[in-house]
């Protein structure tokens, strides 16, 4: 087949283009991809890495182990001659994203720990400032001590946390505890006001009785006083008859008349704080509590305190030997169990 002049020109042009492309491909060197911007971005992020690498925390150290491997892999690829931009780019971006998450976690950890410690410090300061008032209100004082113990538990949980879920749990409990603590001051003021009113009423009653007593004749007053003494003596004789074996010389041990129950704060049940407390109670001859001491602790100051207070609040009859009251000690135990 014979080509026309135009077809010959077209064929010659195509041959020239092919030859030229071949020469350019083999002679002109291929331009290497520029990794400088990506390297600079990666290198700059290492300042964040340095800011968390020396941070002492269980949860941060666990995260750093993973991201350190990412860092080593990226550096190794950068140094190789076979690095590809489309391979490095997503790796660097993921590394920076993971690093920022660790920084956020560190800030969350530090902020939560500081908040917990500050709350505890403020509560201790408030307790110290209201020491005398709290002595008059053992119930509120016990609640304050429970909150301080619970804050110590939260601080320990933060320091030993291994996941952000645990930190979020602590944060939730801290918010709840702050709400409880915010009520202590108005509660204390309210109780002091009630106590003040009760004292005023008692003083008024005493004054009224005193006026009535002064209006009575001396003879009737003396007679009433004598009757009261006789009634008190008779009451004591009846008690002795009730709790001793008459004319037998046998021994009658201490009896618990009313066993008071200790307070078990809900927050401690929820945290699983439990144990057994044994209290030695010395009963005087008149049946009153002479002394108490903890002979076995459950390991928590608040629960120990609540158990000992309950033992003091219980009522007893004294021991008798040969028909006479004697001083005797007994052991009362309280078990705190978190399970329903």
DSSP string, 145-205: HHHHHHHHHHHHHHHT--SHHHHHHHHHHHHHHHHHHTTHHHHHHHHHHHHHHHHHHHHHH
- Note the pTM of the prediction, 2 decimals: 0.48
Q: Are 52 and 64 spatial neighbours (Cβ–Cβ below 8 Å)?
A: yes
Quote the pLDDT of residue 183.
93
Kindly report the three-state secondary structure assignment for every residue of 193-240.
Answer: HHHHHHHHHHHHHHHHHHHHHHHCCHHHHHHHHHHHHHHHHHHHHHHH
From CA 237, how far away is CA 55, in angstroms rounded? 74
Quote the pLDDT of residue 172.
94
From CA 117, how far away is CA 109, in angstroms rounded? 12
The second-level CATH assignment, the architecture, of 249-340 is 2-Layer Sandwich (3.30)
**What value, to the nearest 5°, has the Cα angle with vertex 263 and ends 168 and 297?**
90
Q: Are 155 and 109 spatial neighbours (Cβ–Cβ below 8 Å)?
A: no
Quote the pLDDT of residue 11.
61
From CA 75, how far away is CA 92, in angstroms rounded? 10
From CA 165, how far away is CA 105, in angstroms rounded? 11
From CA 62, how far away is CA 109, in angstroms rounded? 14
From CA 247, how far away is CA 232, in angstroms rounded? 23
Mean pLDDT by 10 residues, the chain (340 residues): 65 65 46 75 84 80 84 85 83 88 88 93 93 89 92 91 89 93 91 82 77 75 72 52 40 84 88 90 92 92 92 92 89 84
Task: Parse the chain into domains and list their residue ranges.
Answer: 1-207, 249-340
Q: Are 327 and 285 spatial neighbours (Cβ–Cβ below 8 Å)?
A: yes
Taking alpha carbons only, the member of 327, 334, 333 closest to residue 254 is: 327
From CA 71, how far away is CA 96, in angstroms rounded? 10
Q: What is the pLDDT of residues 283-338, one digit of tens each?
A: 999 999 999 999 999 989 989 999 999 999 999 998 998 888 999 999 999 999 87
Quote the pLDDT of residue 237.
47
Quote the pLDDT of residue 251.
60
Phi, psi torsion values for 315, nearest 5 degrees: -115, 150
Torsion, CA 24, CA 29, CA 30, CA 32, rounded to 10: -160
Taking alpha carbons only, the member of 288, 329, 281, 287 closest to residue 309 is: 281
Quote the pLDDT of residue 35.
81
Quote the pLDDT of residue 196.
80
From CA 216, how far away is CA 208, in angstroms rounded? 13
Q: Where are the alpha helices (DSSP H) in 28-137?
A: 36-53, 58-79, 85-129, 131-135
From CA 273, how far away is CA 306, in angstroms rounded? 14
């Amino acid at each position: 087949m014979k080509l026309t002049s135009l077809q010959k020109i077209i064929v010659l042009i195509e041959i020239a283009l092919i030859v030229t492309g071949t020469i350019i491909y083999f002679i002109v060197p291929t331009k290497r991809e520029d990794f400088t911007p990506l390297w600079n971005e990666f290198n700059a992020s290492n300042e964040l890495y340095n800011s968390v690498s020396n941070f002492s925390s269980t949860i941060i150290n666990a995260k750093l182990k993973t991201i350190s491997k990412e860092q080593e892999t990226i550096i190794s690829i950068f140094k190789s001659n076979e690095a590809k931009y489309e391979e490095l780019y997503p790796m660097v971006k993921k590394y920076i994203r993971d690093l920022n998450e660790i920084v956020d976690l560190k800030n969350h950890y530090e902020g939560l720990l500081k908040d917990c410690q500050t709350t505890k410090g403020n509560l201790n300061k408030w307790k110290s400032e209201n020491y005398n008032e709290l002595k008059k209100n053992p119930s509120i004082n016990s609640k304050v001590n429970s909150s301080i113990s619970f804050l110590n538990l939260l601080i320990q949980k933060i320091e030993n946390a291994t996941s952000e879920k645990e930190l979020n749990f602590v944060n939730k409990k801290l918010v709840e505890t702050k709400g409880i603590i915010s009520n202590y001051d108005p509660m204390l003021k309210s109780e002091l006001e009630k106590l003040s009113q009760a004292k005023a009423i008692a003083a008024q009653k005493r004054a009224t009785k005193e006026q009535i007593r002064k209006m009575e004749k001396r003879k009737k007053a003396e007679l009433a006083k004598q009757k009261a003494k006789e009634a008190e003596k008779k009451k004591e004789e009846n008690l002795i008859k009730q709790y001793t074996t008459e004319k037998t010389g046998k021994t009658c041990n201490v009896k618990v008349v009313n066993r008071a129950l200790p307070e078990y704060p809900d927050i401690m049940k929820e945290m699983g704080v439990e144990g057994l407390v044994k209290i030695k109670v010395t009963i005087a001859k008149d049946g009153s509590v002479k002394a108490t001491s903890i002979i076995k602790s459950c390991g928590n100051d608040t629960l120990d305190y609540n158990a000992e207070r309950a033992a003091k609040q219980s009522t007893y009859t004294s021991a008798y030997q040969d028909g006479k009251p004697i001083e005797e000690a007994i052991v009362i135990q309280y078990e705190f169990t978190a399970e329903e």
